Amino acid sequence: MPDWKRYVRERLELPDIMGPVESDIIEEIAAQVDECYRGAIAAGASEKDADARARDHVGDWQELAAEITRSKRKHARSAIDRRVEQSEIRLRHKGGAWNAAADALQGLSLTLRRLRRAPGFTAVVILTLAIGIGANTAIFSLVNGILLKALPYDYAEQLVTVWNRAPGLQADGRADDLFPQSPALHFTYVDEARAFESVGLWTQAQATVVGTDGPERISTVLVTAGTLPTLRVQPVLGRTFTEEDETPGSPLTIILSHDYWQRRFGGDPDVIGQTLHVSDMTREVIGVMPRDFRFLEFAPDIYRPLRFDRSTLFVGNFTFRSIARLKAGVTIEGALADLTRLVALAVEKFPGGMTLELLQEAQAAPVLRPLREEIVGDVGTVLWVLLGTVGIVLLIACANVANLFMVRAEIREQEMAIRSALGAGRRRIAGLYLSESTMLAVLGGVLGLGLAYGGLRLLTAIAPGNVPRLDEISLDPAVLAFTLGISVLSGIAFGLFPVFRWGRGYLVQALKEGGRGSSSGRERHRTRNALVVGQIALALVLIVGSGLMIRTVQALRQVTPGFRAADEVLAVLLTIPSAQVAEPDEVALTFEAIAHRIEAVGGVASVGLSSSITMDRMAGFDPIFVEEFPLPEGQLPATRRFKWIGAGYSETMGNNIVAGRSLTWGDIHARSRVVLVTENLAREYWSNPADAIGKRVGTGFGPGNWREIIGVVGDVRDDGIMQDPVGIVYWPMVLEDFWPEVRGGAIFMPRTMWLVVRSSLVGAEGFLNEVRDAIWAVNPNLPLSRVQTMADVLRSSLARTSFTLVMLGLAAAVALLLGVVGVYGVVSYVVSQRTREIGVRIALGANAGKVAAMVLQLGVVLALLGVAVGLAAAYGLTRLMSGLLYGVSAVDPVTFGVVAPCLAAAVLLASYLPARRASRVDPMEALRVE
C-alpha cells in the first residue's frame, strides 16, 4: 500500500504553516486519501485502479494549499510576522532608499521563519552561543568597569599618587618597594611644585563617636586642604576644608559623607553648624559630600582636616598617602624632574630630619603613579587571563556551531543547488547562510546578555573583597556594543564555513548526486575534523590552566604564613583613647588586665597583643643597625618592618620560637631593652638563627641605642600568602628612648592594638560575647572594631587565587563539555553517513569489534591531534598566567602529564558511543535506508 503521508507531504506546499499544525493537516488529508483507496479496494477495484482513484480524490493541490493557508491564517503567521509584513509594505510605499530597508526586513522575517522550522537546531545553536557570549559579556563588563572605564573624577587621567623610592634603604630584592609621603616633602611640593595644579596629603584612621547609644567606631579620612579640591569634588552642602581648618589651634571641623549624614542626622538639611563628639573632641560639621562620591577606594564616614605645625616638620615620617593633579599638558616624567629638584629644598626648609647625604645614600627619589594604576592594582592580570579564557570558550562554542551548520548545510545541499541552478548567485547563497548565522548569533547574544546579567550578580558576590570598583560594574553601552560586536563576529565566523564550501564548485556535484549522501566529502570531513581538533586543543589549554590553579592552591596549603590553625584565632582591634587612660604605663597595664581577663574565659588557650597582625598592612618600618656588622660611615642599613607586641603574641598566633625565648609582661613593664626578630632576618646576618640570641640591634638616624635580641620567631608572610616572608622586628609595646631624635624623652606606647585569642571555641555561639564582656569588665568604654579570625585573613589573602580557580574551573568545565559534545557530534555524524558502508561491511562478514575499531580510530586520531596541538598551545599560553601561580611552573610537567591523557580518554569515550552504535548496525536496515 502506498505511503500516503509521504505522498501528501511531497505535494502539498504550505510554506507558511509549520510544526504540529502542518503535520496534522498532512495526516488528515493522507487519512482521507487512504480511506478512498481502501473503499475502492473493498469495492473490488484493482490496486492500480484504487491508487488512481485515491490520487484523483484530492483534486487540485494548489487550490487546496491556497485554501488551507487562507483559512489557517491565524496559525500560519504570528502577530509579529503580520506586523513585520505591514511595516515592510509601509516602507515600500515610501519608496526610494526605504526599499532597501524593506528588503532587509523581508530577509529578516524569512530567515526567522526558516529558523523556526528547525526548532531543535535553532535552540541548540542559540544556547551554545549564549553560554559563550554571556561569559564574555560578564567578564568584559568586569574588565570595562574596573580597567577601562574612566575613574569617576573630573579629568581623572591628570591624577597621580605621590610616593618615594629608596633602593639604598631596602633589604635584598625589595628595591621596588615604595614609601609613602613625608609631610615635609609634601609642604615643599605645595609651596614650590610647578607641575602640580594641586596636591593633597591624607591618611586613614578609625575614630570613636560618642552618642546616646554607646561609643560608635567609625572610619575617617584625614585630609589636607588641598586633597578634596585635587579630586575636584565639592560638598553638596556647606563648604570644603580651607587652610584655616588645617591650622593647629583653629576650631575643629569635619565634613560628613552622604551616607553618614543620612545615618546619623537623618539627612537633616540644617546639619551645617551642628557638632559631633569625635575622638574626644567636639567638632563642627561644615559640609556634606555628594552621595556617590568615593574617596579613592574608601568610603569613610567622615572627613577630618589633617593638621601639621609646620615648625616641627622634618624630612622623615614617611607615613602619609598623597595625591596630586598634574597641570594640563604636564607628563609624569616632566613632573618628576620638577619634584626631584625640590628634595634638596625640602631638607633646607625643614631641617632636623634626614640630611641630603642620607637621602643620596638611600638613592631616595620621588615616584608618581597614575591614580588608576593604584586603584586597579594587580587585579588586571586576573581579568585579562579570564577574558582570554572566556574568549577561548566562545571559540569552542563557535566551532561547535560551525559543525552543526555544516551538517545542516549538507542536508540543504539540494535546496541550495536548486536555488543556484535557478540563478541565485554565490553572493545570494552566502547571504542566506550569513543572515541565518548572524541572526542566530544575535539571538544568542541577547540570551547571553541575560545570562551575563545573572552571572554578574553572582560574580560580584563571589569576587574577592579587594577587587576595586566593583560598584562601577554594569551592563553599560560599551558592554552592549561589545556583546553586539562579538555576536556579529561569531555569526560571521561560523556562517562562513558552509559559504566556503559553496565557493568551491560543489553545486554541480550536489545536483548530480541528487541529494544522496555524498561519499566524496573528504574535504568537508577534513574541515569538520579540524574544527574538532581545535576544540579539543582549546579545551586542553583551559583545563591545564585550571590544573595549574589547583596546583597553586595545593602549594599554598603547605605554606605556613606565620600562624597556625587559623580558624582558632580570633583577632579584635582595640583602642584605648587618652581620655580613658592617660599614662602610657597605665595603658599597658589595662591591655594586660584585659588579656588576663580573657585568659580566664573558658576554653581560651592563650591571648596575645600586637600593633599589627599578619597581612594587615599596619606595620611600621625603619632602618635597623646591627652592632656586629658596622656599616661604613654615613651608610644606611635596610629598613625592616616593625611591630610592637605584648606577651603571648607568637604563641597565640601559633608561630614557632625558633631560638631564645618569647616576650613576657615582666620585660614590658620593666621597659627591658630587648627585641625579637624573624628567622629570615636573623639568617641574613647569622647562618644559624640561634647565633642571633644575645646580639644587639638598634634603630635611628645612625648606629647606637642598642637592644638585645632575646628570641627568634618563625617567618611571617606579611605581604600576603603568595609573597616571600618579610623581615620583622618585634619590639615590646612600651619603649623608652625610642627614636629620641624625633620623640625626645617621650615614652612610646601604641594605643591601638590587636588582641589575639586562641581557643577551640572561636566561632562558637556566644564566644565573642564572652570576650567582649571580659574586655568591658576592665573598661566598659572601649569600642571593639574589626573583629575577625585569622582564617578570614587567610581567606582574603587567598581570595584572588580562589576566585581565579573557580572562574577558570567553570570555563574549563564548559569547554570540556562543548568539546566532548563536538567530538560526539562529528563521530556520530560520520557513522550516520557511513551506515550503508558499515552495513555492507557487516553483511560481508566484518565482526562488530572491527567496525567499532574502525570508528574509534577516527576518535583516536582526533584525540591525539587535539591533545598534541593543545599541549603546544598551552605551553605558550600558560606563561601569561604565571603571575597568578605559586609554587608551580607555568609549564608544570605534572599538570600537563595528567590533563593530556584524561582529556584524550574523555574524547575516546565520546567517540566510543557512536562506535558501539555502528557495531550494532543491522545490515538489512542499513541497506534499506537508501
Partner 1 sequence: MASVDLRKGSVELLLLSLLEDQSRHGYEIGKLIEQRSGGRIAFRVSSLYPVLCRMEERDWIKGRWVEHTGERRRRFYSLTHKGKRALAAERRAWHEFTRGVNLVLEPSHA
Query: Could you list the residues that contact partner 1 (CB under 8 A)?
Result: 24-25, 27-29, 31-36, 39, 56-61, 63-64, 67-68, 70-72, 74
CA 628/CA 697 separation, integer angstroms: 8
Query: Minimal distance in Å, beta carbon 34 to partner 1?
Result: 6
Integer Cα distance of 853 and 339 in angstroms: 76
Q: How far is the CB of 44 from partner 1 (least distance, A)?
A: 17
Min dist CB 7 to partner 1, Å, is 12
Q: Looking at beta carbons only, is 72 or 232 nearer to partner 1?
A: 72
At closest approach, how far in Å is the CB of 101 from partner 1? 33
Contact indicator for 810, 386 with CB cutoff of 8 Å: no
| Nearest-approach distance from CB 419 to partner 1, in angstroms | 29
Number of neighbouring beta carbons within 10 Å of residue 864: 16
Determine the number of helices (DSSP H) and then strands (DSSP E) in the chain.
31, 23
The backbone torsions φ and ψ at residue 175, rounded to the nearest 5 degrees and listed phi first, read: -60, -20
Please report which residue ranges of 765-887 form alpha helices under DSSP H.
767-778, 790-833, 835-843, 848-877
**27 or 691: CB nearest partner 1:** 27
Q: For partner 1, give the closer residue by CB, 34 or 88.
A: 34
Three-state secondary structure call for residue 719: coil
d(CA 753, CA 262): 31
Residue 68, SS3 per DSSP: helix
CA 485, CA 140: separation in Å to the nearest integer? 12
* Cα–Cα distances in angstroms (integers) from residue 15 to residues 67, 89, 651, 661, 710, in the given order: 13, 20, 82, 91, 93
Measured from the CB of residue 24, what is the shortest distance to partner 1 in angstroms?
Answer: 8
Compute the distance between CA of residue 435 and CA of residue 498 in angstroms, rounded to an integer.
12
Amino acid at 147: L
Which of 511-522 are b and which e, b meaning 16 or more Cβ less than 10 Å from the residue's Cβ? bebeeebbeebe
Residue type, 644: W
Handedness of CA 519, 520, 524, 529 (dihedral sign): positive
- Specify the residue, 63 or 172, whose C-beta has the smaller distance to partner 1: 63
Considering the complex, what minimum distance in angstroms separates the CB of residue 508 from partner 1?
Answer: 38
Beta bridge partners of 906: none
Alpha carbon 835 to chain centroid, angstroms: 48
Instruction: Judge whether 394 and 136 are in contact, CB under 8 Å.
Output: yes
Name the H helices within 422-521. 426-462, 477-502, 506-513
Nearer to partner 1, 36 or 324 (CB): 36
Q: Where are the beta strands (DSSP E) in 7-106?
A: none
Amino acid at 311: S
Which residue number, 74 or 617, has a Cβ lying nearer to partner 1? 74
Q: Which residues pair with 285 in a beta bridge?
A: 254
Please state the closest distance from residue 30 (CB atom) to partner 1, in A.
9
Nearer to partner 1, 11 or 673 (CB): 11
**Shortest distance (Å) from residue 4 CB to partner 1:** 9
CB of 32 to partner 1, least distance (A): 5
Question: Of the two residues 35 and 309, which places its CB atom closer to partner 1 in the complex?
Answer: 35
Bridge partners, residue 305, by sequence: 223
Nearer to partner 1, 58 or 449 (CB): 58
CA dihedral 437, 438, 440, 443 (to 10 degrees): 170
Supply the minimum distance, in Å, between the C-beta of residue 86 and partner 1. 21
Nearer to partner 1, 77 or 524 (CB): 77
Q: Note whether 643 and 612 are within 8 A (CB).
A: yes
Q: Which is nearer to partner 1, 1 or 462 (CB)?
A: 1
In this structure, what DSSP letter does residue 320 have? Answer: B
Cell for 383? Answer: 581579568
Of 35 and 297, CB closest to partner 1: 35
Amino acid letter, 351: P
Query: Smallest distance, Å, CB 10 to partner 1?
Result: 15
**Cα-Cα-Cα-Cα dihedral sign, residues 357, 358, 360, 365:** negative
Residue type, 288: V
Nearest distance, CB of residue 64 and partner 1, angstroms: 4
Q: Nearer Cβ to partner 1, position 57 or 917?
A: 57
